[in-house]
Structure 1
Amino acid sequence: MTETKPTRTARRGRIFPSIQWTEEQKAQRSAEREAFYQRCKPIFDKVKSELIETHYNWYMTVEPDSGEYFVDKNLEVVWQQCREKHPGKIHHTFRINESGACGTI
């Protein structure tokens, strides 16, 4: 008696259809992100000099509508603090260093 192996078919494509953005939609999204960044950057710049000495390479999440920011060495913790205080709001994360970037290319 021979056992038959179940044949599996390979999945092709994605489960969800991919989003096809027009150039105008891409430009609009980019402009919205830049405008949001420009609202968060002054808050970061205001406290960067004092935090860079004591919290170098920690993370800082800014919620621009309230002007509040949260600082922690763990990225997940700083996100959670911001979400608990401001649920449903969008925030921006900086790294407390000279450039404010969270990574390098």
Structure 2
Amino acid sequence: MTETKPTAKARRGRIFPEIQWSEEKKQARKTEREAFRQRCEVIFKRVQPELIETHYNWYISVEPDSGDYFIDKDEEVATQKAQEKHRNAKLYLFRINETGVSGTI
């Protein structure tokens, strides 16, 4: 007599359920992110003129609550420097150039 082994069914789809946010919650999240970016941008605009001359195209990671910023040639290193001092803080990354944009679109 032949024994049959039960076979596991393959999981299909996502492991985590999709997040279903209302339009109001999406808009609130977008507004919150924009307000955070603006708080960081104030610090960036303050130091940009002096840094653009000596650190052009470097990266700057900003922590807006303390006003601290960290710069490095490598974006990951700039972020790591900021995270070492501010463990759980939200950070924003800029590139030290005319626009402050750190990536390509």
The bucket for the TM-score relative to the shorter chain is 0.7 to 0.9
CA-based RMSD of the aligned residues comes to 1.5
Unaligned stretches of 5+ residues in structure 2:
1-6
CA distance, structure 2, for counterparts of residue 26 and residue 81 of structure 1: 31
TM-score (norm 1): 0.87
Unaligned stretches of 5+ residues in structure 1:
1-6
Give yes or no for the alignment of 1:51 onto 2:51. yes
1:11-26 mapped onto 2 (5 Å cutoff): 11-26=11-26
1:1-105 mapped onto 2 (5 Å cutoff): 11-105=11-105
Displaced runs of 4 or more, over 6 A? none
Q: How many residues align?
A: 99
Which deviations, in whole Å up to 9, do the C-alpha atoms of 1:36-69 show, x marking residues without a partner?
A: 1111111100111111111111110000010010
TM-score (norm 2): 0.87
Counterpart amino acid of residue 86 in structure 2:
H
